[in-house]
Structure 1
Amino acid sequence: MARGLQKIQSQQKKDAAKGKEKGSQLAARKAGLPIVCPDCKCQLPNYKTLVTHMEAKHPSIPIPAESTFQ
């Protein structure tokens, strides 16, 4: 069993950690997925992933140039 001061400090650390978990992560997700598929609006992290996605899901649609996403 922890001593008085150590117990209080431990509880405060746990409470502080809980407070940091709250909030929305939508802004962080939007920043991490900057490329959007022009056909299905799927968000992707980079151009290479877009090329793979387009080849697999939309083979009949031409792949847009990388410069259009910068």
Structure 2
Amino acid sequence: MFGDFDDTERCPAHNSEAEVALGFASGKAALQSGRRSVPSLVMAGRDFAAVVRKRERIELATRHGS
């Protein structure tokens, strides 16, 4: 999201937080619109949750040196 001239990420934690906020805002907008596919929204939510869980496992493993 935000980076240096060579696309090196400067603030990974802030960028991740911004991406999650954007995802929630997009989801909220999708739910408030008159046109939505509930199965599609459920699938997207599951995909999002899976990515968050995977990243959390990687982060914990990195912190603990595993």
**TM-score, structure 2 as length reference:** 0.34
Q: Which has the higher helix share?
A: 2
Q: Compute the TM-score of the two structures, normalised by the length of structure 1.
A: 0.32
> Bigger radius of gyration, 1 or 2?
1
